[in-house]
């Protein structure tokens, strides 16, 4: 029969291709997430300050400082994921840099929510990154959860104001999810290759007193959490995105050396060295408390990498 020649069974009427717009999608998390989304059948576009990218994805441009944005970016998006922001650990925090860190997250979130208000476009969800730095950079045994207050330091304030700006989407009826992210571990880029460098030469050691907790997450789990947040209508508000295992810096550095088969006996690098090198920014290396993964687990998310050693074996040893 002639009509059977067309492969109708290939058409999936339950999941028409949905468009995901990722701000700052050219960065570390965005590159992993856009690949995962594409592999899962979504159409992905990036919103970037630069017109071209070698990702092969559609790129819309914007300039959060001047308020310019390609209107098509918003009018075609079924989901918006907001990752854009000047890197927290890229350079010392001068007053100018602090303003850039804040503005790049807040003006950009505001630009999107203002356009959504103006155009009446209502994507299915607006999902914004935030950081576990929300709880402030102090070392304590407290386990912070999503109902705890923000910290009073610079990063605590950045995260609080970033989340407030993203929350404007919630006020116009868009389901808004905030992903308070720990340090993202990846094979290339980000913190892990830098932390693993001394271990490679057999000189791995704790930073400062080594007692500071390091909330961490494998990039595959972080992408999994974003994808769950897109599809799960019950998810709304803040979620900590950190592995359930709490480890301190000393154990982190020792596990990195162990997984790489290197010795770990060098004395800790004293805190003052980081303070001289990085000034106030050193606080993100030298302080840290425990952050709970309970809420995201209760939402039904199952971690692929819930313990540090398995995450590091995957990232440092597998091709
Ligand atoms: N990686 C982590 O361990 C981690 C942990 C906690 C939270 N987060 C947060 O998650 C988000 C994504 O992280 P990431 O590691 O993927 O960051 P990333 O690699 O630094 O990428 C961020 C992207 O934001 C855009 N951007 C940079 N400076 C900007 C500015 N001044 N104004 C507007 N946009 C700017 C850039 O995209 P274009 O050049 O294309 O515009 C850049 O590719 C960030 O907001 C970060 O703070 C990351």
| pLDDT beyond 90 at 245 | yes
Work out which ligand 1 atom sits closest to the CA atom of 62. Answer: 41
pLDDT in tens, 112-149: 999 999 999 999 999 999 999 999 988 888 999 999 99
Share of the chain above pLDDT 90, in %: 81
DSSP category for residue 181:
E
Pocket residues for ligand 1 (CB within 6 Å)? Answer: 24, 26-30, 48-50, 64, 83-88, 100, 104, 108, 129, 131, 181, 183-184, 190-191
Structure token pair of residue 145: 């959860």
Task: Give the chain's mean pLDDT.
Answer: 92
pLDDT in tens, 213-238: 999 999 999 999 999 999 999 999 99
Q: 2 CA to middle of ligand 1, Å? A: 53
Q: What is the pLDDT of residue 15?
A: 52
Q: Classify residue 281 by burial, with Cβ atoms within 10 Å: 0-12, 13-18, 19+.
A: buried
Q: What is the pLDDT of residue 14?
A: 41
Confidence grade of residue 180 (pLDDT, cut at 50, 70, 90):
very high
Work out which ligand 1 atom sits closest to the CA atom of 65. Answer: 32
Q: 87 CA to middle of ligand 1, Å? A: 6
Q: What is the pLDDT of residue 4?
A: 42
pLDDT in tens, 182-211: 999 999 999 999 999 999 999 999 999 999
Work out which ligand 1 atom sits closest to the CA atom of 108. Answer: 33
Task: Report how far residue 139's alpha carbon sits from residue 288's, in angstroms, rounded to the nearest whole number.
Answer: 5
Q: 317 CA to middle of ligand 1, Å? A: 27
Task: Report how far residue 35's alpha carbon sits from residue 219's, in angstroms, rounded to the nearest whole number.
Answer: 12
Q: Which amino acid residue places its CA nearest to atom 23 of ligand 1?
A: 24
Who's near 147: CB < 8 A, 6+ residues apart? none
| pLDDT beyond 50 at 9 | no
Strand 58-63 vs strand 68-69: parallel, antiparallel, or unpaired?
A: antiparallel
Task: Choose which residue among 85, 106, 157, 223 to substitute to test ligand 1 binding: the one with the highest number of ligand atoms within 8 A of its C-beta.
Answer: 85
Q: What is the pLDDT of residue 281?
A: 86
Interval 257-281 mean pLDDT: 89
| pLDDT beyond 50 at 10 | no
Structure token pair of residue 27: 């960065």
Query: Under a CB-based contact definition with an 8 Å cutoff, are residues 196 and 260 in contact?
Result: yes
């Amino acid at each position: 029969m002639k009509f059977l020649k067309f492969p109708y069974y290939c058409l999936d009427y339950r999941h028409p291709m949905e468009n995901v717009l990722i701000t700052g999608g050219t960065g570390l998390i965005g590159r992993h997430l856009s690949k995962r989304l594409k592999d899962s059948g979504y159409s992905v576009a990036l919103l970037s300050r630069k017109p071209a990218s070698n990702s092969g994805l559609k790129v819309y441009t914007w300039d959060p400082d001047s308020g310019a944005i390609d209107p098509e970016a918003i009018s075609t998006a079924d989901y918006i994921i907001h990752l854009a922001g000047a890197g927290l650990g890229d350079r010392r925090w001068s007053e100018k840099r602090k303003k850039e860190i804040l503005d790049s997250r807040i003006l950009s979130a505001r630009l999107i929510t203002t356009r959504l208000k103006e155009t009446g476009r209502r994507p299915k969800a607006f999902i914004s990154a935030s950081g576990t730095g929300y709880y402030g950079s102090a070392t304590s045994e407290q386990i912070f959860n999503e109902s705890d207050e923000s910290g009073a330091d610079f990063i605590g304030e950045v995260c609080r104001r970033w989340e407030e700006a993203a929350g404007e989407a919630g006020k116009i009826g868009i389901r808004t999810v905030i992903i308070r992210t720990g340090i993202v571990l990846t094979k290339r880029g980000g913190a892990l290759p830098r932390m693993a460098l001394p271990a490679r030469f057999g000189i791995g050691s704790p930073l400062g007193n080594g007692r500071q907790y390091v909330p961490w997450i494998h990039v595959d789990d972080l992408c999994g959490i974003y994808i769950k947040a897109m599809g799960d209508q019950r998810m709304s508000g803040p979620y900590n995105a950190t592995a359930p295992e709490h480890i301190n810096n000393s154990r982190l550095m020792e596990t990195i050396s162990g997984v790489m088969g290197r010795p770990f006996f060098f004395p800790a690098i004293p805190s003052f060295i980081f303070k001289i090198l990085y000034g106030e920014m050193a606080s993100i290396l030298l302080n840290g408390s425990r952050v709970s993964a309970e809420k995201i687990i209760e939402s039904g998310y199952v971690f692929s990498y819930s313990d540090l050693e398995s995450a590091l074996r995957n990232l440092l040893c597998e091709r």
